[in-house]
């Protein structure tokens, strides 16, 4: 029998926390639909605005606010929301927060960015990405005829993406959970929050007065007050002051305090700073402790290595006085672009190895079972009443949608032979393989596999040198394995899968309608980027410059990509990643520590990691010592409350901003 996979104590804390109920219930109802409309009207604009202002969305705030509000309304109406309805409401509130058209706001910036124009990328942008005419872009209006191809492509990708993501992730869940019986250790974390709200209804309904019964509401309320208080300063003040005074008042710098130019003499070529977002500290408390220890260790190694690499003549582009954005981009060109590819390759190889061990173990177990037991593990054998669909439907949907992607992309590229081969490779070989591997990793250890730059390598090797439009094709390239955790959560809450199919049909038009309307409204308020949106003004140029490294590779001339791609540094990165995992495995280090360490080595922005690490230390060595293992139950609820508070104050501030910008000023 194959040797069992090593299980560390930290992952064990997340395993087997919930059992699958014996009965499945229908969760889709009018309550779910009204909840989705509520989120679409109130939360979507706040999420978009918050993303532009500070680079973060409202997080789970929309879900928690919606669920709690509807539970309270039901309680006052002397009704009880079943757990399945609460879960579907929770899911729909999350799905409505998708912002497919917010990408068009970035597209209009990219078409005008210094990086795209300077590297010759902007001149070749296809019409289905964004118009390039300055007169059109100055109008800031998505409803112009020139924007129709880009808007149409977003609608197509949204429809196909939701269909594929829902159906195919379900198929891989059936394989990983029903056939291979993988535990999905992280699934209970998401399901427990919903179950806590359902249990709270039951406690209130039975009029239990024990103080200990209501701890979840108290912890959630504490987190909500913290989020409201911090959000008023961090998000509310800049948004409201910009609306009333014409310029934002920023007390806590967004997105971070930058010390890079001040530490240049001590730490040359090293980005230094600190995020003052208290929400990052809360995230550090929620994350597995050893994952944060590993991330911080990786950042420290990077900060020590960068001055050495600078003095060794490797980080040659950096100059004294460069800020964080310039430092990260220049270091990326000189070393970390290739090094990061190597690190990611190491992660992918380790992920495949873990899957190999898991498959070997599963086969060994099957050899010990009776013939009757093996027959029960067919693809068609599912729990009664769960609302499953035949496996043939999953295969049929995948074949049809993938073929649609291939035909559309082939038409847009004039049927270039090399690109067509790439499309077929993505659709019928790579996507199924990587989705299966990810599904198994998610089921075994709660991690996903990421193989870096597959798209980029495939198009470069295809021989296409006709410009940049190939990078903006709708591709049959995705990883559907990560969403298998969602189906496990659905099962753990006793929700019929048919409820999700119904919810998806209703969600698609709601998401598209609200997303295009509010994206247009926000773009009309101010140019993006601008001082009204500090995050976009600070970070989007870096993002555009990094993207141009890849986009320039198909221009048919010497490009930034050729400057940044160095096989030696790629090999060093892959070796470093494998070495880290090998040493950590030799000493039986926690799985999360290994992934965190590799994350830190990948030139992760240290400003955010430091704040998260501070939160992890406080949580581990103060709160966990004070509250014991209950702290692991408290902190997810506290984090949800904090996100809820931040979301509420942001939505309020956005409402004030919208109202101020809608007022017509009459000169006297």
Residue pair 590/361 in contact by the 8 Å Cβ criterion: no
- pTM score above 0.95: no
Within-domain flag for 21: no
Within-domain flag for 20: no
pLDDT at 237: 87
Q: What are the percentages of helix, strand and coil residues in the chain, rounded to 5? A: 70, 0, 30
pLDDT at 631: 83
Integer angstrom CA distances of residue 668 from 246, 280, 665: 20, 48, 10
Within-domain flag for 273: yes
pLDDT at 4: 43
Within-domain flag for 1: no
pLDDT at 18: 60
DSSP string, 567-631: HHHHHHHHHHHHHHHHHHHHTT--HHHHHHHHHHHTT--HHHHHHHHHHHHHIIIIIHHHHGGGH
DSSP string, 62-84: HHHHHHHHHHHHHHHTT----HH
pLDDT at 423: 93
Within-domain flag for 667: no
pLDDT at 367: 65
Within-domain flag for 251: yes
pLDDT at 147: 93
pLDDT at 376: 44
Name the stretches of the chain with pLDDT < 70.
1-19, 54, 56-62, 64, 185-186, 188-214, 216-217, 351, 354-355, 358-359, 361-381, 444-453, 557-562, 591-592, 595, 598-599, 601-605, 658, 661-668
Domain that holds residue 376: 9-15+26-662
Give the number of domains in the chain.
Answer: 1
Can you tell me the distance from the alpha carbon of 356 to that of 440, in angstroms, rounded to the nearest whole number? 10
Can you tell me the distance from the alpha carbon of 105 to that of 527, in angstroms, rounded to the nearest whole number? 10
């Amino acid at each position: 029998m194959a040797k069992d996979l090593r299980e560390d104590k930290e992952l064990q804390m997340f395993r087997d926390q919930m059992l699958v109920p014996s009965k499945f219930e229908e969760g889709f109802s009018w309550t779910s639909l009204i909840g989705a409309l509520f989120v679409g009207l109130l939360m979507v604009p706040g999420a978009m605005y918050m993303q532009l202002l500070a680079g973060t969305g409202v997080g789970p705030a929309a879900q928690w606010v919606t669920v709690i509000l509807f539970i309270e309304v039901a309680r006052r109406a002397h009704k009880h929301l079943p757990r399945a309805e609460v879960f579907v409401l929770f899911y729909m509130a999350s799905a409505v927060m998708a912002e497919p058209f917010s990408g068009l706001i970035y597209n209009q910036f990219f078409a005008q960015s210094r990086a795209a124009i300077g590297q010759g990328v902007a001149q070749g942008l296809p019409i289905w990405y964004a118009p390039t005419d300055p007169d059109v872009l100055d109008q800031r209006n998505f409803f112009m005829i020139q924007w129709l191809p880009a808007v149409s492509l977003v609608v197509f990708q949204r429809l196909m993406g939701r269909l594929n993501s829902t159906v195919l992730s379900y198929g891989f869940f059936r394989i990983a959970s029903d056939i291979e019986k993988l535990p999905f250790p992280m699934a209970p974390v998401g399901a427990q929050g919903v179950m806590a709200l359902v249990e709270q209804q039951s406690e209130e309904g039975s009029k239990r007065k024990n103080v200990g019964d209501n701890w979840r509401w108290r912890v959630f309320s504490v987190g909500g007050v913290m989020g409201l208080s911090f959000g008023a300063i961090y998000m509310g003040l800049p948004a409201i002051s910009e609306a009333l005074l014409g310029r934002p008042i920023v007390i806590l710098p967004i997105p971070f305090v930058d010390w890079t130019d001040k530490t240049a003499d001590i730490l040359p070529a090293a980005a230094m700073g600190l995020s003052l977002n208290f929400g990052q500290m809360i995230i550090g408390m929620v994350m597995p402790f050893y994952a944060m220890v590993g991330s911080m260790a990786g950042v420290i190694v990077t900060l020590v290595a960068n001055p050495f690499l600078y003095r060794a003549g490797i980080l040659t582009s950096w100059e004294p006085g460069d800020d964080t954005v310039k430092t990260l981009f220049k270091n990326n060109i000189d070393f970390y672009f290739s090094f990061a590819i190597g690190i990611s390759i190491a992660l992918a190889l380790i992920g495949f190895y873990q899957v190999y061990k898991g498959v070997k173990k599963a086969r060994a177990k099957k050899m010990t079972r009776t013939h009757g037991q093996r027959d029960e593990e067919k693809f068609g054998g599912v729990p009664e009443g769960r609302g499953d669909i035949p496996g043939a439907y999953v295969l049929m949907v995948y074949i049809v949608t993938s073929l649609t992607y291939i035909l559309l992309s082939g038409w847009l590229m004039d049927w270039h032979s090399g690109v067509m081969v790439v499309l077929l490779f993505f659709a019928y070989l790579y996507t199924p393989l990587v989705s299966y591997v990810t599904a198994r990793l998610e089921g075994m250890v709660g991690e996903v596999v990421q193989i870096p730059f597959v798209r980029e390598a495939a198009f470069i090797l295809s021989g296409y040198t006709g410009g940049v439009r190939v990078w903006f094709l709708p591709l049959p390239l995705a990883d559907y394995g990560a969403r298998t955790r969602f189906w496990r959560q659905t099962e753990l809450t006793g929700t019929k899968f048919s409820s999700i199919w119904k919810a998806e049909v209703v969600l698609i038009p709601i998401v598209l309608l609200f997303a295009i309307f509010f994206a247009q409204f926000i773009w009309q308020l101010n140019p993006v980027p601008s001082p009204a949106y500090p995050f976009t003004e600070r970070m989007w140029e870096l993002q555009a410059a990094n993207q141009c490294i890849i986009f320039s590779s198909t221009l048919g001339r010497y490009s930034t990509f050729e400057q940044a791609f160095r096989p030696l540094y790629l090999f060093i990165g892959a070796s470093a990643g494998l070495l880290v995992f090998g040493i950590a495995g030799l000493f039986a280090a926690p799985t999360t520590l290994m992934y965190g360490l590799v994350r830190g080595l990948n030139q992760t922005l240290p400003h955010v990691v430091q704040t998260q690490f501070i939160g992890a230390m406080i949580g581990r060595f103060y709160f966990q010592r004070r509250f014991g293992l209950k702290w692991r139950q408290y902190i997810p609820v506290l984090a949800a409350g904090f996100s809820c508070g931040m979301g509420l104050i942001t939505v309020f501030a956005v409402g004030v901003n919208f109202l101020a910008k809608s007022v017509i000023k009459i000169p006297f």
